[in-house]
Amino acid sequence: MTRTQVGIVGAGPAGLLLAQLLHRNGIDSLVVENRRRDYVIDRVRAGVLEQGTVDLLIALGVSAGLCRAGLRHEGLHLSFGGKRHRIDLAELTGGKAITVYGQNEVVRELIDARTRTGRPLYFEADHVSVDGLDSAPVLRFEHDGAHHDVQCDFIAGCDGFHGICRPSIPEGVLTVFEREYPFGWLGVLVEAPPSSHELVYTYHERGFALFSMRSPTITRLYLQVPPDEAIGNWSDEAIWAEMLARMTTEDGWQPNVGPVLQKSVTPMRSFVAVPMRHGRLFLAGDAAHIVPPTGAKGLNLAASDVLVLAHALKSFYERGQTQCLDEYSDVCVRRVWKAQRFSWWMTSTLHRFPDDSAFDYQRQLADLDYLTSSRAAMTSLAEQYVGLPPEVSFESAGLNV
């Protein structure tokens, strides 16, 4: 049996960020991931980083790529009725902005940083399991044919929505809140220069569409589709026809068309499991909560969870205090519900629901008309989109800024 202070399950953004934060504070950890390294790095997912997430990555010193290639956006567009309306995020929030940068690039840099620390990070682990959560947690897995039993002080369940940590909590402990949406997102990565400097969220009679980007040569686009849609039903031609039908505005703006490099369909759900702790197991990120992607909050919530957890573990190891560990779930869940509410609201405002009536369609247009003409409404959207203030300061999580 080997030993570590914190056993981390999952090498996504939550697990890798936590490992870096703990390392900064002299707390040892072991990270175990069931997928291949390349798979984890190549997975195309989130693209919008809140100001606080960017600041965290910079404070951690894992930001060379982000500072070089991240695209700072001080505004976004809402498009409906054939017109685009700009929301000036920076002006409405006292200078805050978001940064468009691929989650996979963030993960790549975090893996490199972890590797440089020389501390353990196992990919392609099999039969990962956790037990002894009440008093003496053990993390077990197989790697390269060898069986590992790791005695831990704590386990961080950062293994996403389909991981093993949440299901390891005994039945009856967790309360789950869930909502499924009657649609999913078809996402494509396109080799074409973005035709707008900023994101465009489109509400159209035919459904929602989103224009985003990854770099000056790569466009990222999404379409609302039925929830169980097979990607095989969508030829590249069909995707472009639908994209252009929904996104083209009266002034002729539309995305630049180019070769489709990657395409996939993601279902949409809202999900919260509370408490985010059971004994010595702490859940963080998608393992505890899922938001529909419209508000661009999932990755950012994962980052704020692990900042709170790192602060609590630091206070335990440095001063023997358990109060912050005890408060971990409540502190995170308050932010989670605000992000849930915002993501649900963005989703409901911008998507067409199958049972929408003509009344609903007009009401939604009026919502958007109000939203883009009232400074109060735009300010509310802007302050939530760029991200609410962090729960704990970077200094208290051991970061010098």
Instruction: Tally the C-alpha atoms within 13 A of residue 51's C-alpha that lie toward its C-beta.
Output: 19
CB of 212 to ligand DHB, least distance (A): 3
**Which of 148, 289, 297, 351 is the catalytic position?**
297
Is residue 355 within a helix (H) or strand (E), and if so which, with residue range?
A: none
Whether 255 sits among the annotated catalytic residues: the reply is: no
Member of 45, 143, 269, 341 binding ligand FAD (CB under 6 A):
45
φ/ψ of residue 238, rounded to 5: -65, -40
Residue 112 neighbours by CB under 8 Å, 6+ apart: none
Q: Enumerate residues 147-206 that contact ligand DHB by CB under 6 A.
A: 199
Q: Is 392 in the site for ligand DHB (CB under 6 A)?
A: no
Q: Enumerate residues 207-246 that contact ligand FAD by CB under 6 A.
A: none
Q: Enumerate residues 107-146 that contact ligand FAD by CB under 6 A.
A: 125, 128
Please give the Cα distance from 102 to 135 (Å, whole number).
39
Q: Enumerate residues 31-50 that contact ligand DHB by CB under 6 A.
A: 46-48
Amino acid sitting at position 307? L
Member of 14, 57, 78, 92 binding ligand FAD (CB under 6 A):
14
Member of 74, 109, 159, 391 binding ligand FAD (CB under 6 A):
159
End-to-end CA distance of the chain: 38
* Three-state secondary-structure class, residue 135: coil
Question: Among candidates 54, 50, 3, which has minimal Cα distance to 30?
Answer: 3
- Given the complex with ligand DHB, which of 158 and 199 has the nearer CB atom? 199
Whether 292 sits among the annotated catalytic residues: the reply is: no
Measured N-to-C along each axis, helices 323-350 and 375-386 cross at an angle, to the nearest 10 degrees, of 130
Q: Is 286 in the site for ligand FAD (CB under 6 A)?
A: yes
The residue with its CB nearest to ligand DHB is: 47
Which stretches of 101-247 are DSSP H helices?
Answer: 103-117, 236-247
Please give the Cα distance from 264 to 44 (Å, whole number).
9
Is residue 274 within a helix (H) or strand (E), and if so which, with residue range?
A: strand 260-274
- Given the complex with ligand FAD, which of 47 and 207 has the nearer CB atom? 47
Amino acid sitting at position 296? A
- Residue 220 touches which of ligand FAD, ligand DHB, none (CB < 5 to 8 A by kind)? ligand DHB
Q: Is 384 in the site for ligand FAD (CB under 6 A)?
A: no
Please give the Cα distance from 122 to 197 (Å, whole number).
39
Q: Enumerate residues 215-234 that contact ligand DHB by CB under 6 A.
A: 220
Sign of CA dihedral 100, 370, 298, 56: positive
- Given the complex with ligand DHB, which of 29 and 294 has the nearer CB atom? 294
| Range in contact with ligand FAD (rule: CB under 6 A) among 74-82, 155-163, 340-348, 357-365 | 155-163
Q: Is 343 in the site for ligand DHB (CB under 6 A)?
A: no
* DSSP designation for 60: H
Member of 21, 22, 47, 313 binding ligand FAD (CB under 6 A):
47
Whether 39 sits among the annotated catalytic residues: the reply is: no
Residue 392 neighbours by CB under 8 Å, 6+ apart: 307, 308, 311, 331
State the virtual CA torsion across 195, 200, 203, 207 in degrees, nearest 10: 60
Q: Which residues contact ligand FAD by CB under 6 A?
A: 9-15, 32-35, 40, 45-48, 103, 125, 128, 158-160, 162-164, 187, 266, 285-286, 293, 296-300, 302
Q: Which residues contact ligand DHB by CB under 6 A?
A: 46-48, 199, 210, 212, 220, 293-294, 296
What amino acid positions are annotated as catalytic residues?
73, 201, 293, 297, 385
